[in-house]
Amino acid sequence: MATRNTVGTRRKASRQVDPVAAPEVRLVISNRQRDRRVDARALRCLVQQVQAEAGQAAELGLHLVSARRSAELNQQFLGHEGPTDIITFDQGSTWDRVCGELFICVAEAIRQAREFGTTWDREVRRYVIHGLLHLRGFDDLEPGARRLMKREENRLVKRFG
């Protein structure tokens, strides 16, 4: 199974959430792949829902990239060969605002969807949630932290995915 990679992490912080105020979400989506047509409106809605539940604002770039571009980023920033499903770049997230860039490889979503018996667009949504969790401070390098992150990822996929 491909690993989901992150560049730059921070500690998770808790806070009280005001249920009335919706956090501001600034999201730029760029589609630089041709493997599948992606519903950008659905991805925007997903990010807004996940961030509203967390009570966190967001400044994000969500980039849908080809396998070739994913492999280039993976090699350049993580020293790994080949494409990966998602690479997350944290750009100064804080306890009340996530800031970063998510690079999602749609070709990997297609491949992994076959492997896990799901749809490619559900995989893409999972990757978005996974990247947002990284920006919130979740980590998947150690087994205990990985289990905690996977549990939260699965909960959010079930709720919003």
Q: Report residue 1's pLDDT band, with 50, 70 and 90 as the boundaries.
A: very low
Residues 6+ apart with CB under 8 A from 77: 7, 87, 89
**Within a 13 Å sphere around the CA of 138, how many CA atoms are in the beta-carbon half?**
21
Phi-psi region of 14 (alpha: psi -120 to 50; beta: other; left: phi over 0): beta
Residues 6+ apart with CB under 8 A from 97: 23, 56, 57, 58, 59
For residue 49, the one-letter residue type is Q
- Report the percentage of the chain scoring pLDDT > 90: 86
- For residues 137-158, give the mean pLDDT: 97
- For residues 133-157, give the mean pLDDT: 97
> Tell me, what's the pLDDT at 161?
77
Q: Please report, for the chain, the start and end positions of each structural domain, with discontinuous segments joined by +.
A: 5-160
In angstroms, the first-to-last Cα distance of the chain is 21
Number of residues that make up the chain: 161
pLDDT digits (tens, 9 = 90+) for 84-121: 999 999 999 999 999 999 999 999 999 999 999 999 99
pLDDT digits (tens, 9 = 90+) for 44-63: 999 999 999 999 999 999 99
Fold designation for 5-160: Collagenase (Catalytic Domain) (3.40.390)
Q: Report residue 17's pLDDT band, with 50, 70 and 90 as the boundaries.
A: very low
DSSP string for residues in 82-108: S--SEEEEESS--SSEEEEEEEEEHHH
pLDDT beyond 80 at 43: yes
> Tell me, what's the pLDDT at 11?
40
- For residues 64-82, give the mean pLDDT: 98
- For residues 31-50, give the mean pLDDT: 97
pTM of the complete model: 0.87
| Cβ atoms of 93 and 10 closer than 8 Å | yes
Token code pair at residue 3: 């690993």
* Dist CA 16 CA 6 (whole Å): 27
- Report the percentage of the chain scoring pLDDT > 70: 88
- For residues 60-68, give the mean pLDDT: 98
